[in-house]
Structure 1
């Protein structure tokens, strides 16, 4: 990694994003840290050091994203941009509040689209843009509801960006499994192969240093789900229906 690599982390104050910020800071990177909460950003910068910059934004608000992008542009080109901002609300589709569903779509999918549009203008030639999907986006699973649908959209968006930006940017997809965060604590079912945010951050950094398009972990969970999603519908749906019982 370059000695003074400049990295923009969106969704930096919670879970994986916070763990990533800590590990990259320990490795000597210069960080641009974004999230909605200015108080949490201020606390994180105080912890990591004043050489890092806080850039508050709301990914669902395009004006907010554009203002943040202008501030970053004034500071010079960046080497990586990683979008981890997301909302989650477990439960069945029939039980989800429509306003909550709209907010999840606005943050997880439209927000990711906003970052995918502005980040290429801020990255150096050949820089890296990483969008965070989820193994929940591989195939529709019980209680995945609108969250899984938005993550399927992010996967598709990352694939499209990879093709469109070939030769100018290094576009990557991050697909975590279950990570022990504030969001997953809301689940009322057994979550297999759970990892800590610190382990997730280490897996992401290792993966982004390699050449593969997708960084997915832990493989004891992701590989079976990839196999499930590759099955014909008559068999895959029969198996997912069993999970809802």
Structure 2
């Protein structure tokens, strides 16, 4: 039997690449994003065996409505939540309304998924939330995005303990990936990779036993080391990144 996988944030970047990769492997997909037009175009390419269900992760009612529709399909093997907002810049420069929107989509949206999605999974099914290496430590120009992703990392860690034995909770922590969002960055992005390579890393990682899937490792391990250093060592390193 093919795996049944719900991908949230499926129409662009990593989500789209992941949908294409899993479809090529024979999985049956439920694809969600805000744009119904983009979802319909993607389904037209991938095949009518897949299903499009629009939703906005910033609005709990749309997630609940999607979950109600999916509950009639049957238990899922995996749920991959990738939807996020990003707005680079210094803390003093960000619009407060935009900051609230980022927190609502990235962190509160992940919380809604964490509450609503697990009953849709078969026993031992997999729920993957998308953090970011930006959530490891407060990075220059990471502002509220980094803070929201730090919250997602913490949420995934909590769920891993609370749902142990029933749901396989995983954390996805990408580095820089060539997407519409990262095109807004005005700095050199180290070890940047394509969405296709990111999708391959995610699929491989989610099939392993590791809690966290992080990539590319030549970059993520550097940030992991910085994040565990004492502040007297880590903060001067971060200040150099602002120059």
TM category, shorter:
over 0.9
Unaligned runs of 5+ in 2: none
Confirm or deny that 1:58 pairs with 2:56: yes
RMSD across aligned positions (CA): 0.5
The number of residues matched between the two structures is 243
CA deviation digits over 1:34-76, x for unaligned, max 9?
A: 0000000000000100000001100110111100000000111
After TM superposition, which residue ranges in structure 1, 4 or more long, deviate above 2 angstroms?
none
Q: 32, 35, 43: which one pairs with 2:33?
A: 35
Per the alignment, residue 162 of structure 1 pairs with 160
Query: How far apart are 1:125 and its partner, in Å?
Result: 0.3
> Which residue of 150, 173, 176 corresponds with 2:148?
150
Report the TM-score when normalising by structure 2: 0.99
Map 1:54-203 → 2, pairs under 5 A: 54-203=52-201
**Partner SS state of residue 94, structure 1:** helix
- Listed as ranges, the gaps of 5+ residues in structure 1 are none
Q: CA deviation at 1:119?
A: 1.1
Aligned with 1:91: secondary structure?
Answer: coil
Deviation at 1:27, TM superposition (A): 0.2
Post-superposition offset of 1:238: 1.1
| Displacement after TM superposition at 1:242 (Å) | 1.0
- TM-score, normalisation: structure 1: 0.99
